[in-house]
Structure 1
Amino acid sequence: IDHWKGSTHALKGVGCVECHQAAHEDVDAFDHYGATIATIVTPKDCGRCHKTETAEFLASHHAKAGNILASLDNFLAETVEGSRVPFNPHSKTPGMDVDMVNGMASVNVGCKQCHGSKVALEGTDGSLITVDQLKPDKDGIPTSLEALALVKKDSNGRPVLHDSSWPNTGIGRLNLDGSRGSCSACHSRHDFSPRRARQPENCGKCHLGPDHPQKEIYEESKHGVAFRDLKEHMNLDAHDWVLGQDYTQAPTCATCHMSGHSRNGGRVTHDPGERISWTNRPPVSIVMDTDINGVVIKETDPVERQKLTVSSWQDKRQTMKDVCLHCHTQNYVNAFYKQYDDFIVNYNEKFAKPGTKIMTALKENELITKTEFDEEIEWTWFYLWHHEGRRARHGASMMAPDYAHWHGMYEVAERFYQELIPQAREIAHHAEEDGKADQAKAVLTLIDDILARPEHEWFESAKKLADAGQASLTPEGAASAVQVNAAAKADGDAKPDDSADNTTTTPDKPADSSADKEEKPE
């Protein structure tokens, strides 16, 4: 209540009931001192007053964040870190009675708190009742009488929310009324402070850590340094907060990705994807051409791709450039994007695509199982693209050199050369010993073809010379090895590598969709 008293809602006469009001037919409705209300406020509720903002949000990737519930990341939390079924404890816990261990604890407390839970009610038969069972209509009213009849209520007549799904303010939460998301993920209840929503710490609840350290990257960048120094001069409490009018000192996450500015008439967007030209989430980065549903297009045929594209990556980039141009010249902005594109293409072509090919070959030749994370190389590959690869790409996207290099590409390269390649070769050699000569040869040939390419020549050539006692794997030795190999080629002693994949991904030529097999639907 005290938080609400200081809010714009309170000043405008918007009270508790205006947000929490529910229809009698709502599955989670209950009587509260004569008013019919529900505990959870969904985007469908917020949309009664904030129609434009809600529509933009529901079209965004934020609203789809709950799709992680079927992803590789979620498999880690549900199965590898925990268990999808309760299990017996190893021994007694002093001072507490633990009959069974809830193996879903990690995903409930971790993944779902950012990505969103599937809100569930307790059933009288012990079942969980979610949007799947309720089948709500367009107004959010459940249509399944059978599911409604099973809803458990407490002594006050309130439907009982299952503690695995609530409390939760994950931004892609799957609500009982069929809507997706939680506005309070960014607009914290109950003061809904614009000042807080505009600051990087707000985004940092989810956008931080080893696999997506945007908050740490921002803090390292010139933008973040300027914000910390000039924060008190940025008019964060302004009603509209328009870049170029209300402030010019520094950008925050909101400035670049969502807030209005003087070049677009102060138009705010609640779809941060409107200004992003690359998606760096999958193993191989893809340009952000999106279809009518806002889904990233993975079609590689240029003609078909153009037919599907409703919003191109070029349009999105220009929308972001319009923000940049408040402080920087056109040449400066264009040069930054050239550096960024070159960085992403280098990551894609030198490490991500070859790594994807190796992992695909191992699975297709049945040298590793289809189960994820049951072999060491799957952890290696996951670290390479999901942690180090993302850190590198995000570091480049927001001008954080340490994350781009030392926390990024350096670790990508080390993981590729010192772990992924040796582990893949070892698996193939073991397969040979087990009588799978053809399958092993297919993988080893692929690895040899990859390492025969010029960008990997330093590694393979230097290693061969080192094995022969002619050079060491120092920078000087590696350079010498490349020079020796180049001289041999000039003398006609080396054959060109016709079998290697010499394609290059640029923003004008989208990444091969096969490289994105780990990525789940957006």
Structure 2
Amino acid sequence: KPEDETMADSCLYCHGTKVEVKGLKERETELGEMSFPILTGWPNHGVGRINPDGTMGACSPCHSRHSFSIEMARKPQTCAECHKGPDVPAYPVYKVSKHGNLFASLGHSWNFSSVPWTVGKDFMAPTCAACHVSLIVKLDGEVVAERTHQMNDRASWRLMAVPYAHAHPRSPDTWTVKNEAGLPLLVELDGRPVSGALIGVEEQRKRRNKMKGVCLSCHSSSWVEGHFRRFEHAIDYSNKMTLAATEILLSAWKSGVAKGLEHNESIFDEVIEIKWVEQWLFYANSTRFASAMAGTDYGVFANGRYKLATNLQEMLELLHTRQR
């Protein structure tokens, strides 16, 4: 198990620590001696932070303390703090997309503080906030998308850091779900959804249409339909490549060349298992994000389809070598 400070300095930096009061200490101040809390899990501004009073969440990942700037929340560099690495490459993909090109070249002249945010007037290409959370209106004031603080309101697929892209969970309490293998996943190892764990087809359709509505405020219907067709094809392709890697891993466990679920061992500590994780956590993720945001090479050579194919071949050769 990782040390608490390691967790707080890595995963929980973005996901959020549990901040607890463990006592008080006295300090001299300009106003005399005062008592201050001794906190564990602090400092932290992770979005899922559990606060000492039992409340959950933090505003500061998007709106930093003191200024609470809506401009900051609307700029993609803010999202990059937690969505930049190979496991969630949203920001690097956005930077090389046409939308990212426009933001980099023209964004200095856009109005990032206006409420509501008018497409074609205040901004000329979407940032992360425009697609996912902001109140967007047309030039005539017609509402394109209502404001939300639920980041998946307009997302029909869960792409991030999961073996298989799938519909979003019905409940955010995903740790309560276990698949047939006893793993805390919303899908089985072959990609089938866990019964009752995911939103239905109709809810997916509603969310997809919300996102399409944002796209249609600038693009034609043929452009938007073509984009979503390619995006869902990329989801299907990346899921198949994850399934192929999973079948190799299951063969390794079955033949005894690696020890995993069947042996009550960790499924993350052997080379072939680590390569299985890389298959979906890095390469499938990158392929999906690149397709979702038209991020060009991140879906091909920069941790995309090329890496999906070569990593799969390396897993297969590793299996055959160890079976000899």
Say whether the fold is shared (TM-score over 0.5).
yes
Cα 1:209–1:311, aligned 2, differ >3 Å: closer, same or farther? same
Q: Which residue of 2 aligns with 1:398?
A: 293
Deviation, 1:291, is 2.2
Aligned partner letter, 1:387 = F
Cα 1:311–1:167, aligned 2, differ >3 Å: closer, same or farther? farther
Deviation, 1:239, is 3.2
SS in 2 for 1:312: helix
Q: 1:291 touches 1:297 (CA, 8 Å); kept in 2?
A: no
Q: 1:242 touches 1:259 (CA, 8 Å); kept in 2?
A: no
Cα 1:193–1:308, aligned 2, differ >3 Å: closer, same or farther? closer
Distance 2:132 2:199 in 1: 24
Q: 1:121 touches 1:161 (CA, 8 Å); kept in 2?
A: yes
Cα 1:179–1:309, aligned 2, differ >3 Å: closer, same or farther? farther
Of 28, 31, 35, the residue aligned with 1:157 is: 35
Deviation, 1:120, is 2.6
Cα 1:378–1:228, aligned 2, differ >3 Å: closer, same or farther? same
Q: 1:116 touches 1:173 (CA, 8 Å); kept in 2?
A: yes
Cα 1:293–1:167, aligned 2, differ >3 Å: closer, same or farther? closer
Matching of residues 48-197 of structure 1 within 5 Å: 78=2, 84=3, 104-122=4-22, 151-155=23-27, 156-162=34-40, 165-197=41-73
Q: Percent identity?
A: 32
Of 224, 247, 250, the residue aligned with 1:360 is: 250
Q: Which residue of 2 aligns with 1:416?
A: 312
Distance 2:6 2:283 in 1: 23
Kindly tell me the number of residue pairs found equivalent between the two proteins. Answer: 294
Distance 1:356 1:207 in 2: 26
Structure with greater strand share of residues: 2
Q: Which residue of 2 aligns with 1:260?
A: 135
Distance 1:256 1:340 in 2: 15
SS in 2 for 1:159: strand
Matched, 1:387 2:282: yes
Aligned partner letter, 2:104 = R
Cα 1:297–1:362, aligned 2, differ >3 Å: closer, same or farther? closer
Distance 1:353 1:186 in 2: 35
Q: Which runs of 4+ in 1 moved over 4 A?
A: 292-302, 304-308
Cα 1:270–1:294, aligned 2, differ >3 Å: closer, same or farther? farther
Deviation, 1:157, is 2.2
Of 209, 215, 222, the residue aligned with 1:318 is: 209
Cα 1:361–1:109, aligned 2, differ >3 Å: closer, same or farther? same
Q: 1:292 touches 1:310 (CA, 8 Å); kept in 2?
A: no
Matched, 1:250 2:146: no
Distance 1:116 1:292 in 2: 19
Cα 1:168–1:301, aligned 2, differ >3 Å: closer, same or farther? closer
Of 143, 155, 180, the residue aligned with 1:276 is: 155
Q: Which residue of 2 aligns with 1:285?
A: 165
Cα 1:294–1:261, aligned 2, differ >3 Å: closer, same or farther? farther
Q: Which residue of 2 aligns with 1:240?
A: 116
Distance 1:169 1:398 in 2: 27
Deviation, 1:271, is 0.8
Distance 1:276 1:294 in 2: 18
Deviation, 1:214, is 0.8
SS in 2 for 1:158: strand
Cα 1:368–1:266, aligned 2, differ >3 Å: closer, same or farther? closer
Deviation, 1:226, is 0.7
Cα 1:265–1:252, aligned 2, differ >3 Å: closer, same or farther? closer
Cα 1:402–1:301, aligned 2, differ >3 Å: closer, same or farther? closer
Matched, 1:205 2:100: no
Name the larger-Rg structure: 1
SS in 1 for 2:300: helix
Q: What per-residue deviation string (whole Å, max 9, x for no partner) do you get for residues 47-68 of structure 1?
A: xxxxxxxxxxxxxxxxxxxxxx
Distance 1:247 1:308 in 2: 34
Q: Which residue of 1 aligns with 2:223?
A: 332
Deviation, 1:410, is 0.4
Q: 2:25 touches 2:37 (CA, 8 Å); kept in 1?
A: yes
Aligned partner letter, 1:400 = G
Matched, 1:371 2:266: yes
* TM-score, normalised with respect to structure 1: 0.52
Cα 1:320–1:219, aligned 2, differ >3 Å: closer, same or farther? same
Distance 1:420 1:336 in 2: 32
Matching of residues 431-442 of structure 1 within 5 Å: none
Matching of residues 17-56 of structure 1 within 5 Å: none
Distance 2:85 2:257 in 1: 33
Q: 1:297 touches 1:308 (CA, 8 Å); kept in 2?
A: no
